[in-house]
Amino acid sequence: MLLRVNGGHLSPRGPSGVPALLPVMGFCLYLLTLLLLLCLCTAQWCYQKQNCDDECKDPSRWPVQFPRCGGSHQSPVNIVSRKVQLNSSLPPFSFIGHVDAINVTVKNNGHYAHFGLPESVRLAGGGLPGHYRAFRFHFHWGGGSGRPGSEHTIDGERYPMELHIVHIKEPFHSLEEAEQDTAGIALLAFLFEETAADHPHLDSIIAALGRAKYNGSNTVIPNFRLNDIIPAAKDLHSYYRYVGSMTTPGCEQAVEWTVFHRTLSISSRQLDAIVAQCQFWTGQPMTDIYRPTQPLDGRVVYSSKSGTPQKRVTHLWISVFSGFLIIVTLTH
């Protein structure tokens, strides 16, 4: 470095005579880093129980940062069974690739953990307007066995956990493309009920979540089969259908929702284990990851032809049988 006279003072200059700007450049880099972090935080969002600050929006404030979250066709919803309308044009589904062994990549995105699915897993039927390919699946849960965390509720009842399987309409190649079509995404939802016995195939998912504990971390589940988690299509003729949105920002209103009547099982041990595995992007435990239910705003929830909940069928048969006993008793 050369020292040259500049206005009667010595100033450092590089070989080309340009002043050494390293301290100034370092300060500028520091300011840019602070600006980037500020922008990142203001674009972030939180769940209700996450103790959000003024910069990071909880669900009640999502529409401020993400205007589509304030739309009139938002999800999830509370399904009121007595107001559901029968739709006889809702046929059974056809699942493709559910019995195949696949490698599933699990990634913690700081808000929830998602499980990537290959294009070989596909969906048809169910009254959907086209064929769909699987994209990924994820879970929504509460705070363990004592605090439910499903997103959809049935007659006001929140279930312990909910599984969402996201499908993209063909020929779209990405979620962003599919979101431009009002029926570009088909989302299958399964509610979990707590049982005494473990679900025989959930422990591998719990273990994978533990390997993807932190924001940005990922792992792989080898030889995974979807039919280990959900029943075959022939056993899933009963379901609810309505039009809605994604349940995380930006809440795109491009979803054909299917919520199955048949529930899946999970034990209290598994519920407590699953909520203890991951952390949010804030470093807090990943619990209560569900959006509160949204107004229907005039939308109708339909039920498939054989869409009477099993408990209602059971009650009907009990009534019929009781009536039969009464008649027999009176005739004798």
Q: Give the CATH number for residue 231.
A: 3.10.200.10
Strand-pair partners of 115: 106, 137
Per residue in 288-320, pLDDT (tens digit) is 999 999 999 999 999 996 444 444 333 333 333
Q: Which of 10, 38, 65 is the last residue of a domain?
A: 65
Task: Judge if 38 and 97 occupy the same domain.
Answer: no
Does residue 73 have an active-site annotation? no
**Percent of the chain's residues with pLDDT above 70:** 77
Per residue in 120-171, pLDDT (tens digit) is 999 999 999 999 999 999 999 999 888 999 999 999 999 999 999 999 999 9
Q: Which of 35, 65, 95 is the last residue of a domain?
A: 65
The answer to the question of residue 320 being in a domain is no
Tell which wins on pLDDT, 96 or 26: 96
| pLDDT for the residue numbered 57 | 78
The answer to the question of residue 9 being in a domain is no
Task: Judge if 50 and 197 occupy the same domain.
Answer: no
Residues in the chain, overall count: 332
The answer to the question of residue 174 being in a domain is yes
Task: Judge if 141 and 30 occupy the same domain.
Answer: no
| pLDDT for the residue numbered 28 | 44
Task: Judge if 25 and 159 occupy the same domain.
Answer: no
Catalytic residue, chosen from 9, 73, 98, 111, is 111
Task: Judge if 276 and 198 occupy the same domain.
Answer: yes
> Stretch 97-111: mean pLDDT, rounded?
97
Q: CA 17, CA 27: separation in Å to the nearest integer? A: 22
Task: Judge if 191 and 253 occupy the same domain.
Answer: yes
Per residue in 33-42, pLDDT (tens digit) is 433 333 344 4
Total domains, the chain:
2
Task: Judge if 250 and 308 occupy the same domain.
Answer: yes
The answer to the question of residue 332 being in a domain is no
The answer to the question of residue 233 being in a domain is yes
Residue 163 belongs to domain spanning: 74-315
Q: CA 76, CA 138: separation in Å to the nearest integer? A: 15
The answer to the question of residue 12 being in a domain is no
